[in-house]
Structure 1
Amino acid sequence: MKITTPTVNAPCWVELGTTDPEAAGAFYRELFGWAARTDVRPGAGGYTQLLVGDAPVAAIGPIASPRQRTAWLVGIATADADATAAAAVENGGRVLKEPTDVFEEGRFTVLADPAGAVFTAWQAKEFKGAGLLNEPGALGWVELATRDTAGAKEFYSRVFGWSVTVGETYTQWGLAGEDFGGMLDMAEQFPPDVPPYWMPYFAVADVDLVAERAAALGATVMLPPTDVPGGPRLAVVHDAQGARFGIHAAGTEG
């Protein structure tokens, strides 16, 4: 990720909605060495920020409804959450949660693109987003898996103004040439019942060591450490509750 501070129309935050926040928190703290800071205010629902040093890098909270899957949600910074929600609908997406204020921290909305991949849009007030990006233990890349790559290019370019760089096997997203993510064509690689999704990749100093540690902590390594031609070394992991995330060697993405 070439963008290193929260930037409007770029990824700025990731949060995990899970059926077991306590177990998930213990897993990720052990895996990445994160510290935890739980919001004890009434109405916060036990929302817990995860930190590298003093810098917030992610969060964990309980799923909001029985229909919600345990999953990581990628948050995109926006100057106006209401306008972004309207633009998503105008371009074939859906609003899953109407724009809502979060104390004095900011305003957010939960959206789905036309194929059904879910993400959030965050309008910052007091809370700007991740205090650290593209460093070990922090968000380093985001990836959309979808069966409608043409539709995704059109949707995200119109809603967020993203640039699209198409390679032989992979498409990358960016802002003014600063790439921060990519798109994977699900095609026949995934069972038909797997819906489109966004997935975060966390930067780490040693992919092999972190993948081994994740397995020892009860996670499933779906893609073992792999060198991508012309790209980083990476792995993909499912935690014990089924949330999917990636890890990649810090400083080698994009």
Structure 2
Amino acid sequence: MAVRPEGTPCWADAMFSDVEGAKSFYGDVLGWTFGESSSEYGNYTQAYADGKAVAAVVPPMPGQEGQSQWCLYLASPDAAATARRIRDHGGEVLMEPMQVGDFGTMCLAREPSGAVFGVWQGDTHEGFEAIAVPGAYCWAELFTREPATADTFLSDVFGYTAKQIQDEAIDFRVFDVGGDPVLGRMRMSDDFPPEVPSYINVYFTVANCDDAVATATRRGGVLRFGPHDSPFGRLAALTDPQGANFSVIDVTTTQGEQPQAADVS
């Protein structure tokens, strides 16, 4: 698979205090199977959809226990240079660029409005081996109460161009790389409890949204929104039993016209 352009989502993982519970839950909901855990890398365990690597789960490192959350990684040809730009534009580097064997170099950061994300400079592990097929990553959106701050940061650090969705009901922006949409940004409404910080919500593809929701709730997940028909697919927002937010989408079931967007780059 070709190296992804800078700023393109390329991987997702999450820390779970109960890794076996997470494997069981996502195995049921998304159809994932799992590789052997790597003790050399903190028992990092890759998840597979139809034999293709699509994500990973890992137990928390000592001192990092807390609510689980999915972390989206953005591709970089030079993680050290990206880390410098993150600092220069008001972000915080939480983990300095660190080489992970011959797999690549990772960095963890927080954008100025508070959402945590990763940077990945791939080597032998380039990232997702499949996208937008059942069980695989499909899309992601940054939810924030400070859209102007987040928008400026993302464009300055990753060189995105941006389009604003023309809808008075929501404040939603789409960031592009080379003309391809790669990331959304949604202003958090008052419907979000004030204690919920900015975060990046990851969408995983499913063959049937309603079936995935039924399985998730039966397994202890909480339905937050949907299922809802959209021009992009039938989707729903969920929280897994360990507190990690994620969404599921059936991209084959679309309804309605795609919204108009204006270039704001």
CA distance in 2, matches of 1:76, 1:136: 21
Does the CA contact (< 8 Å) of 2:141 and 2:200 recur in 1? Answer: yes
TM-score computed with the length of structure 1 as normaliser? 0.93
Deviations 1:206-229 (A, max 9, x none): 11111111111111111120123x
Cα RMSD after superposing both structures: 1.8
Does the CA contact (< 8 Å) of 2:3 and 2:126 recur in 1? Answer: no
| 3-state secondary structure, aligned to 1:136 | coil
Q: Which amino acid aligns with 1:151?
A: T
Residue 66 of structure 1 and its aligned partner are, at CA, apart by: 3.5
Q: Are positions 1:66 and 2:64 aligned together?
A: yes
| 3-state secondary structure, aligned to 1:187 | coil
CA distance in 2, matches of 1:126, 1:5: 11
| Map of 2:245 onto structure 1 | 244
| Map of 1:204 onto structure 2 | 206
| Map of 2:188 onto structure 1 | 186
| 3-state secondary structure, aligned to 1:104 | coil
Corresponding pairs, count: 249
Structure 1 vs Structure 2: percent identity of aligned residues? 33
| Map of 1:84 onto structure 2 | 82
CA distance in 2, matches of 1:6, 1:63: 28
| 3-state secondary structure, aligned to 2:35 | strand
Unaligned runs of 5+ in 1: none
Does the CA contact (< 8 Å) of 2:8 and 2:182 recur in 1? Answer: yes
Shift >4 Å, 4+ stretches? 251-254
Matched ranges for 1:111-190 at <5 A: 111-167=109-165, 168=167, 169=170, 170-190=172-192
| Map of 1:225 onto structure 2 | 227
Is 61-70 or 104-113 further displaced after alignment?
Answer: 61-70
TM-score computed with the length of structure 2 as normaliser? 0.89
Unaligned runs of 5+ in 2: 259-265
| 3-state secondary structure, aligned to 2:21 | helix
| 3-state secondary structure, aligned to 1:123 | strand
